[in-house]
Amino acid sequence: AQSVTQPDIHITVSEGASLELRCNYSYGATPYLFWYVQSPGQGLQLLLKYFSGDTLVQGIKGFEAEFKRSQSSFNLRKPSVHWSDAAEYFCAVVPWNRDDKIIFGKGTRLHILP
Amino acid sequence: DAGVTQSPTHLIKTRGQQVTLRCSPKSGHDTVSWYQQALGQGPQFIFQYYEEEERQRGNFPDRFSGHQFPNYSSELNVNALLLGDSALYLCASSAKQGGPETQYFGPGTRLLVL
């Protein structure tokens, strides 16, 4: 079945430490890939997206993600987190046939220790 | 340039009632999608409207219906409310320009059904 998996429900890191959030997808072909962030009580903000080309994509707020076809993964990274990065992060896909509906993972809540 | 706006921000209803949520898309966008986000879950696609017609639908019952107006704004209607309909309802807009779409999300309407 088609799915998006974020294996970590919660992650806690210290401020200034590096971060990696995992995402795996299960589709017949490479979908379009996204990472969104949602702060408490807020809507979703797009961090970055991958459609094709360079497999390392840069996003806003210092985030980047790497697409690895062999692993069906699209992990989100940041070299040094800030307290303001505490939020929920959603990996999402739009299937390759571009029927436009976004399929979201269940999210990873990021906690930052001072 | 205003982004995606939604109204109301919060709403409390009782079981069996009907509710209407509203969304105005980002300027230049002509497509509106609706998502339901239950507490602790990722958003789930309800349906998408383009050219005033429902183009795609997720796995939601007919109690969920919508409409798109000539100015591209949209409404989501839910009839015979159930407790399980309590959620954050997100609207996203996009522009159909022939390429992969990136949807911009509004802040959401939080619905509580008692």
pLDDT in tens, A14-39: 999 999 999 999 877 778 899 999 98
CA A36 – CA B37 distance, rounded (Å)? 14
Q: Is the confidence at residue A81, as pLDDT, over 80? A: yes
pLDDT value at B70 more than 60: yes
Report the phi/psi class of residue A53: left, alpha or beta, with left for phi > 0 and alpha for psi in -120 to 50: left
**Cβ contact, residue pair A44, B105, below 8 Å:** yes
Q: Nearest CA of chain B to the CA of A73: how many Å?
A: 18
Mean pLDDT of B46-68: 94
- pLDDT, average across residues B14-30: 96
Q: For residue A99, list chain B residues with Cβ-Cβ distance below 8 A.
A: 56
Distance to chain A for B16, nearest Cα, Å? 26
Q: Which of B6, B37, B89 to mutate to test the interface with A (most CBs of A within 10 A)?
A: B37
β-pair partners for A57? A65
Question: At residue B98, does pLDDT exceed 50?
Answer: no
- Percent over 90 (pLDDT), chain A: 72
The three-class DSSP label of residue A61 is helix
* Residue A3: closest CA among A74, A109, A108, A104: A104
The separation between CA B62 and the C-alpha centre of its own chain, rounded to angstroms, equals 14
Q: Is A50 on the interface with B (CB under 8 A)?
A: no
pLDDT in tens, A41-66: 778 999 999 988 899 999 999 999 99
A95: confidence class by pLDDT, cuts 50, 70, 90:
confident
Beta strands in A1-114 (DSSP E): 3-5, 10-14, 19-21, 24-26, 32-38, 45-50, 56-58, 64-68, 73-78, 87-94, 103-104, 108-113
What's the sign of the alpha-carbon dihedral A49, B97, B91, B24? Answer: positive
Q: Which amino acid does the sequence have at A27? A: Y
B45 neighbors B58 (Cβ within 8 angstroms): yes
Q: Which residues of A touch B101 (CB under 8 A)?
A: 94, 98, 100
Per-residue b/e over B44-74, b at no fewer than 16 CB within 10 Å?
Answer: bbbbbbbeeeebeebebeeebbbebeeebbb
Contact B66, B54 (CB under 8 A): yes
Residues in A closer than 8 angstroms to B99, CB to CB, are 51
Residue A97 has pLDDT above 80, yes or no: no
User: Which residues on chain B place their C-beta less than 8 Å from a C-beta of chain A?
Assistant: 4, 31, 33, 35, 40-45, 48, 55-56, 58, 90, 92, 94, 99-108
Answer yes or no: do B45 and A46 touch at CB < 8 A. Answer: no
Nearest to B107 by CA among A48, A50, A45: A45
The overall average pLDDT reported for chain B is 92
Mean pLDDT of B40-63: 93
Q: What is the pLDDT of residue A96?
A: 66
